[in-house]
Structures are given as structure tokens and as C-alpha cells.
Amino acid sequence: QQQVKQSPQSLIVQKGGISIINCAYENTAFDYFPWYQQFPGKGPALLIAIRPDVSEKKEGRFTISFNKSAKQFSLHIMDSQPGDSATYFCAASKSGSGNTGKLIFGQGTTLQVKP
Amino acid sequence: ETGVTQSPTHLIKTRGQQVTLRCSSQSGHNTVSWYQQALGQGPQFIFQYYREEENGRGNFPPRFSGLQFPNYSSELNVNALELDDSALYLCASSLIKGAGVNTEAFFGQGTRLTVV
């Protein structure tokens, strides 16, 4: 049973543009929502994470927008650069002991930023 | 670099064999979580170890087992390997501070397991 749905599967953006990746979840018990970036042959790297007590969190060029009522959250990459070309995963987990390590991942979005 | 190290980086095994994968957690972390990532898919949670005991398990059969050692490093063991076990195996370390407070999880580079 897929609990976190991610879209689009792939995305092509011009350099300097905005990349937007969306995720939807089903379980209202989820209360931790991180985004990870993965390059080929590497492990996922944490980009930014949000908890449902805020609707937006920004770190540099990366922003998470969170809509609790719609059970959706999204990643916005501003001023996208070719170096941002990677696979991006959203994830979610429920509160509790060790929850930040018990993640349910989306299927991933492959982002290509064209020069 | 996250400070989470995994070994080996690549491994080829025959169907039916057993395999052990190793993970050293980031300094200051006390929890290790293991994931299986099939090609083109998101990682799937296998289990987590905290205080040398299993602290949650995903939908994986008992032939997937693990250990955590006093220095917080961990092993993932898979018995009776099947072709579908071919995947990237990732470990992630984090810190459980207590009272429901947990730090973010950081992943290692993974071990690429191929079962032939």
C-alpha cells in the first residue's frame, strides 16, 4: 500500500527556472516530512524537512510548502542550476521513538536542469 | 559527507547464499535504520536498531535480520538470497534523545548487492 505519492516522475527545467515537486500522503498520523536528494551511485542526502506546525520552511534556494488539510507538501527549487540535476524523494513518518529514521518514501522525481 | 560509512560498496552473491552488510553510524548517533532501494524506486524501510534492539520493522520477511553493537554500528544479514534481493542497501543513522525527540537521519553511500 503506497502511502506517499510523488509527482511528477520526471521534470525538465531551464537553468534559472523554478522546479516544483509535489507529494501527497494518506496517513494523518504522519508528522515529519523530509526531502532527500540523491545522485547516481550515492545515498540520499537530506535537503530540508518540515513538521506540520508550520506551512512553509525555506533554506537557501529550497522551500517546502505544507498543506495539512489537503495532506500535500511540495518542494520548490528556486533559480535551478545544472548541479541540481538529481533524483528527489519526499518522505514521511509518524511521531515516536526513532521516527526520523522510519521513513516512508515517495517514488522519486528525476530532475534535469538544462543549461 | 555524512560520516555514515557502509561496507562493502559492491557485492555479488549467488541465489540461496547468505550475506552480511555493515554500517558505521555517524559520531554521536545511537540509532541505525536499514533500507532497501530497488532500481528506479524509493528506499523501503527494513528495520531500525536502537540500544542494540530492533526498534521497528517494515514489511520484510524474517530472513532479513540485524544486529547493533555497543559502539552503535550495525549489521544487516540476509539469508537464502533471492534474485529480487538485488538492490542498493542503505543505512541511515540518527540520534534518539529521548522523550520523542529524534534528530534527522543521514544516509550512507549504500551497498550494491547483486544476486545471480
**pLDDT value, residue B68:** 97
**pLDDT value, residue B2:** 67
| Amino acid occupying residue B88 | L
**pLDDT value, residue B56:** 93
Mean pLDDT of chain B: 94
Q: Among A29, A101, A52, A51, which residue's Cα sits nearest to residue B43? A: A101
Q: With contact defined as beta carbons under 8 Å apart, do A13 and A111 qualify?
A: yes
Alpha helix stretches (DSSP H) within A1-115? none
Dihedrals phi, psi of A83, to nearest 5 degrees? -65, -10
Q: Is the Cβ of B40 closer than 8 Å to some Cβ of chain A?
A: yes
Whether residue A8 has a cis bond before it, omega within 30° of 0:
yes
Nearest-neighbour CA in chain B from A108: distance (Å): 6
The residues, any chain, with a CB within 8 Å of residue B98's CB and separated by 6 or more, are none
Q: Looking at the predicted structure, is the pLDDT value of residue B103 above 90?
A: no
- Which string of DSSP letters, residue by residue, matches B36-78? EE-TTS--EEEEEEETTEEEEE-S--TTEEEEE-TTS-EEEEE
**Whole-number Å distance between alpha carbons of A80 and A19:** 7
Nearest-neighbour CA in chain B from A74: distance (Å): 17
Q: With contact defined as beta carbons under 8 Å apart, do A34 and A53 qualify?
A: no
**Whole-number Å distance between alpha carbons of A89 and B42:** 7
Q: pLDDT class for A2, splitting at 50, 70, 90?
A: low
**pLDDT value, residue B1:** 63
Q: pLDDT class for B81, splitting at 50, 70, 90?
A: very high
DSSP structural state of residue A112: E
Q: Do A107 and B92 touch (CB under 8 A)?
A: no
Residue of A nearest to B43 (CA): A105
Mean pLDDT of chain A: 94
Q: Is the Cβ of B104 closer than 8 Å to some Cβ of chain A?
A: yes
Q: Is A22 exposed, middle or buried (0-12, 13-18, 19+ CB in 10 A)?
A: middle
Q: Looking at the predicted structure, is the pLDDT value of residue B61 above 90?
A: yes
